Structure 1
Amino acid sequence: MSELVNRLSGADSRVVLGDAGLSAAELHTRLTRLGAVPLTFADTRGGTTLDLAVDAERTVLDTADFTAGTGRLHLEGTLTLDRVPVRCTADVDLASRAGTGRLHTV
């Protein structure tokens, strides 16, 4: 397993949700209609941005108000990083787009 996968699965890390230019409404569209969203692990060298395929059954969006841009999100999804299939979990504040996340090998 790669060093990056080991590091991101070893403990919670700081994450930033979405691209800087995305509005809360655009973020909602990416989560609900496109089923994918960029998530950046901020504490890696230069930051590691992953395109997270959102698992709609495990993701919790109803604790956030996308019109007001407030509340918290719980995101879960899958991806492959360095040829390793992983599940990502993240809890993010919608106003700041910051939170914590972690990878879990599957």
Structure 2
Amino acid sequence: MDELVQRLSEGKHPVEVGLRPEKTVTAFKESIDRGYVYIKFTQTRGGTELGVQLDEKACNFQTTNFEQATGTAHIEGDLTLNYVKVRCIADINLPTLTGEGNLEPVTEVTVA
């Protein structure tokens, strides 16, 4: 398995939401509404920013209030990193737009 994928699959890691041009809760909510967010693992060399296609059924926004910028957003989605299919799982604290997350390798189901 790829070294970066393996490292980010072991335990929880500090993450932040990747937003441009400005890092706001409103911009984060707009990304969620589009179904695609950027999550940056901050403790890799230079940071590793991943574009995540959200799995709406696995995400949880019940404890979030985007208008008041409170609560924690649980996001999950799939992507390919260094030719390895992975699921990114992150809990984002809305007031800071930071949190913790990890990757899980996705095993392909083959039909015989």
Task: Describe the SS at the equivalent of 2:26.
Answer: helix
Question: Larger % of strand: which?
Answer: 1
Report whether the alignment pairs 1:12 with 2:44: no
Q: How far did 1:12 drift?
A: 0.8
Q: What is residue 42 of structure 1 aligned with on the other side?
A: 42
Instruction: Provide the identity percentage.
Output: 38
Q: How far did 1:23 drift?
A: 2.2
Count, aligned residues: 105
Counterpart residue type for residue 97 of structure 1: L
Q: How far did 1:31 drift?
A: 0.5
Task: Describe the SS at the equivalent of 1:65.
Answer: coil
After superposing the two structures, state which structure 1 stretch, 74-83 or 58-67, moved more.
Answer: 58-67
Counterpart residue type for residue 68 of structure 1: Q
Structure 2 Cα separation of the partners of residues 42 and 72 of structure 1: 19
Q: What is residue 29 of structure 1 aligned with on the other side?
A: 30
Counterpart residue type for residue 83 of structure 2: R
Moved over 6 A (4+): none
Give the root-mean-square deviation of aligned CA atoms.
Answer: 1.1
After TM superposition, the score normalised by the length of structure 2 is 0.88
Structure with the greater alpha carbon radius of gyration: 2
CA deviation digits over 1:74-103, x for unaligned, max 9? 110000000000011111101111111010
Q: How far did 1:45 drift?
A: 0.4
Gaps of 5+ in 1: none
Structure 2 Cα separation of the partners of residues 88 and 7 of structure 1: 13
